Structure 1
Amino acid sequence: MNTNLLTTIHLANPWLKDPTAPIFWLPQYVPRIQFSTLQKQLSSSLMMLLTGPRQAGKTTLARRFCQELVDTKAYTTVLYLNCDEALVREWLTGSHVLHDIETILHTRHFILFIDEVQRLETPGLILKAIYDLHWPIKIIATGSSQLEIKSKVQEHLTGRHFEALILPLSCQELGDRWDFHVNTLYGSYPQIFLEAEKTLYLENLYKNYINKDIIEILQVRNADTMRHLLGLMAHAAGQLVNYQQLATDCRVSSPTIQHYLSILENTYVLKAITPFTGNKRTEITSNPIYYFLDNGFRNQALNNFSALENRTDLGLLIEGFVFQELYKLKIQYALDFEIHYWRTKSGAEVDFVLYKNQACFIPVEVKYRTFNAPKISRGFRSFLQSYAPKRAIIITKDWYGDSIIEGVTIHFVPFSTISTSMELVRSFFLSE
């Protein structure tokens, strides 16, 4: 076995040489909601696949889960392999890897943790080959590109894996750590709360995304066009998308723009939402709206970290953050609803409609301004009159309370207590 490779493995797995070394050291771990979901897979033989954006906390969560498995004696030890390491990638594709693993560990009762699995040429085949040996091991893999995961992994693992999407920290996970200024401006990547130089961290995250995910892994030739598109989408976040206008601005074809937007979605930078439609004659029924999945990444794409009190786009930042929290809520609690927007051809609109079925949906509107009394916009009233939801939520700057308008109970909740809004949504869908 290659000496340099063995050194690399021992550096990443110090407990293999020193049994007193801790199985991963996690001094700053923030408990994640989805940890309980992983615990439910404790006795399952299925391999575990954690996907999501880079540095959203996949590896840390998986390490915490490994600690739990070893501490409870479910498994003897862990072998951690980072596929960002060229030596590791080469070794995993070789014919002697399984023999080498058994030689290193002296056991077949272990956790095999493969980080950034999409970096391998044929990760699905490798994982399938190991899984089909039926060794008493737990396989955990992480990946940060849905495109690569789908094409390289999922098709080979049908019926063999459990998958979880891990996003940046939610307001409910942060609890008292949630900070209006920090989260709205710099986003919610876990490392943000440890970094003194937050803008430098986001600049490096952005550069690594372009250089590693876009250029190196996905082999997008025109990275400058992708950067330009990211800037345009940052300006247009929360607005109806015109593919042809974006194509004109980027000097490429409309299909190329749609392909690039698909890449941005599948690498967890953007998320498209589609319209909620009932009366198709008067409502917009086709154009998607895109939101960034993290405000810090959006502001880096804009190269704008001006203080919130000086931002002309503060309303968009707040709206984007609310979307991010709604999406995290849906994913983290596995809630059964889709996020839509509602807009008519005459201009009436509602920011978000959380829809499960015709009897179970809730509109959410973001109105970040001072209220002197509970009131709603003409467009919001139009939606209430047209669809008569059971409840509605309006995110305000400072007004708090419940009112009944048009026969609908409306919860007015300040943005500063956004976790309250999320709990209202969660309770609503759990009770229906």
Structure 2
Amino acid sequence: MVRRSIQDHINKFLFKGKVIILYGARRTGKTTLSKTILSEFGDEGRYINCEVLQYRQALDTTNTALLNDFLGDYRIIVLDEAQSLPNIGLILKVLADTRPDLQIIATGSSSFDMAQSVSEPLTGRSRTFILYPFSLTEISQETHPVDWGARLKNILRFGMYPEVYGQSEEMAIEELRDIATNYLYKDVLQFNQLKRSDLLFKLLQALAFQTGHEVSYGELAKLLGENHHTVRNYIELLEKSFVIFRLSSFSRNLRKELSKSFKVYFNDNGIRNSLINNFNPLELRDDTGALWENFCVTERMKLLHNQRRFPNRFFWRTYDRKEIDYIEEAGGKLAAVEFKWNPAAKVKKPSEFLKTYPNSSFQVIHRDNYRDFLL
């Protein structure tokens, strides 16, 4: 079993008076991780799937006596898919107030509803973590160095969902199609009775084809025959369901810097490829550069989150088309990065950027040196 990096950080907050909130897309391993943590407490731990009707009904109350009667004398409890409980925020507050000895781990596959209901009642009394698909750091613990060349190409094609990683091509494609069809935007469609699965799929396809490029709400709206507000709303919901994430443009000193554009990346390459039904080998693709950029930006995000580091992250572009793929801002310094799959690719130093921001550095990340950046 691949040990999840975030587990050590979660363990540090157990029984410290904090409710643990664990978010992550469906099928990323939240249930497995929470049960792994529970297993260390034997009979003192209890797992509850909040999507099961009888449990949802039993927990749909803020009556202290009823809650304590249902939960019993356990030391630690997992409320899995807790976003299924309409009053989850108040329920957690009641338990935190009346059972300070009880450790609660609440998992959620979407943050748009749960985060709003949890944040205010639990102000200062919760810790939030996100579980992504496997990271390079996690799988490097069980992958021999000689395997990395071929393994990397497979990761760019099939991603690292736990049920996909290490499978044969046939099984990997089957699993990814199942996730994309049955799980990917399940929570989005349940939110506020949004039922436009056709629009969601077309939007995701459009975003998949624009991976690594700037995205315009207006252009997407025109392409999909929808209004600007609807497209923006759906993108925000997809981000809060951990399907995609956005990077904003960096702008400080130059008038010609783009300041309102953004890029969209997928949390997993395999999901991105499944949406456009393209699992071809890299040698037969014309989007290898986009796959490499999506992979690098996503893996960097996982690494930073798993290490509990939270720099500001951007891309940079000017109106005269000078650009940098990725920028991190931390400690008053800027680290600029260009992603190139081919180590022999010629990359011109962004002299204007480096001159404008003297406290900046620049590096190129390719398939021969990525480990220093992503591990």
Q: Same fold (TM over 0.5)?
A: yes
- Paired AA for residue 338 in structure 1: N
Instruction: Give the secondary-structure state (helix, strand or coil) at the position aligned to 2:261.
Output: coil
Match of 1:270 in 2: 244
In structure 1, the partner of 2:58 is 91
The superposition leaves residues 34-70 of structure 1 with CA deviations (integer Å, 9 ceiling, x where unpaired) of 22211211340211111121122222222222223x1
Superposition pairs of residues 211-250 of structure 1, within 5 angstroms:
212-250=186-224
Paired with 1:81 and 1:140, the residues of 2 have a C-alpha distance of: 10
| 2:125 counterpart of 1:155 | no
Contact 2:300 2:373 in 1 (8 A): no
For residue 385 of structure 1, what is the amino acid of its counterpart? K
1:120 aligns with 2:59: no
Equivalent residue in structure 1 for 2:45, among 67, 78, 81: 78
Give runs of aligned pairs for residues 31-430 of structure 1, distance below 5 A.
31-68=3-40, 70=41, 77-93=44-60, 96-102=66-72, 108-134=73-99, 136-175=101-140, 176-177=142-143, 179-193=151-165, 195-196=167-168, 197-209=171-183, 212-357=186-331, 359-371=332-344, 376-377=347-348, 380-389=350-359, 391-398=361-368, 413=369, 418-423=370-375
1:384 alignment partner AA: L
Q: Rg bigger for which structure?
A: 1
The runs of at least 4 aligned residues of structure 1 exceeding 6 Å deviation read none
For residues 194 and 87 of structure 1, do their structure 2 counterparts lie closer, same or farther at Cα, with a shift above 3 Å needed?
farther
Mapped contact 1:214–1:223 kept (Cα < 8 A): no
Q: Give deviations 1:155-176, integer Å, cap 9, x for gaps.
A: 2222221111121111111105
Q: Distance in 2 between matches of 1:269 and 1:112?
A: 27
In the TM superposition, what is the alpha-carbon distance from 1:370 to its structure 2 partner? 4.1
Deviation at 1:115, TM superposition (A): 0.2
Residues 210 and 164 of structure 1, relative CA distance in 2, 3 Å threshold: closer
Distance (Å, rounded) in 1 between the aligned partners of 2:237 and 2:122: 23
> Matches of 1:370 and 1:226 in 2, distance apart?
37
Check the 8 A contact 2:35/2:47 in 1, yes or no. Answer: no
Conserved in 2, the CA contact under 8 Å of 1:146 and 1:266?
yes
| 1:390-419 superposed Cα distances (whole Å, 9 cap, x missing partner) | 543211244xxxxxxxxxxxxxx2xxxx22
Q: Contact between 2:215 and 2:262, CA under 8 Å: does it hold in 1?
A: yes
What's the TM-score once normalised by structure 1's chain length? Answer: 0.79
How many residues align structurally? 363
8 Å Cα contact 2:26-2:184 kept in structure 1: no
- Report if the CA contact (8 A) 1:169-1:189 is conserved: yes
CA contact (8 A) 2:354 2:361 kept: no
Can you list the C-alpha shifts for 1:319-344, whole angstroms capped at 9, x where unaligned? 10001011112211121311100111
* TM-score (norm. length: structure 2): 0.91
Secondary structure in structure 2 of the residue aligned to 1:213? helix
| Deviation at residue 142 of structure 1 after TM alignment | 0.3
SS in 1 for 2:193: coil
Take 2:92 and 2:15, find their aligned partners in 1: how far apart are those partners?
19
Shift of the 386–159 alpha-carbon distance from structure 1 to 2, 3 Å rule, reads closer
Amino acid at match of 2:187: D
Alpha-carbon distance change, 101 to 39 in structure 1, aligned in 2, over 3 angstroms: closer
Q: Deviations over 1:93-121 (max 9, x none)?
A: 1563421332xxxxx24211110000111
Q: Indicate the SS of the match to 1:91.
A: helix
Would the aligned equivalents of 1:53 and 1:167 in 2 still touch at CA under 8 Å?
yes
DSSP-derived class of the 1:190 partner? coil
Q: CA deviation at 1:211?
A: 6.1
- By how many angstroms is 1:200 displaced? 1.2
- CA distance in 1 between partners of 2:224 and 2:46 (Å): 45
8 Å Cα contact 2:215-2:264 kept in structure 1:
yes
Separation in 2, partners of 1:219, 1:304 = 31
**Matching residue's letter, 1:78:** G
* Distance in structure 1 (CA, Å) of the matches to 2:29 and 2:324: 32
Q: Distance between the aligned counterparts of 1:240 and 1:194, measured in 2?
A: 32
Cα RMSD after superposing both structures = 2.0
Cα distance change on mapping 1:336 and 1:211 into 2, 3 Å:
closer
Amino acid at match of 1:190: P
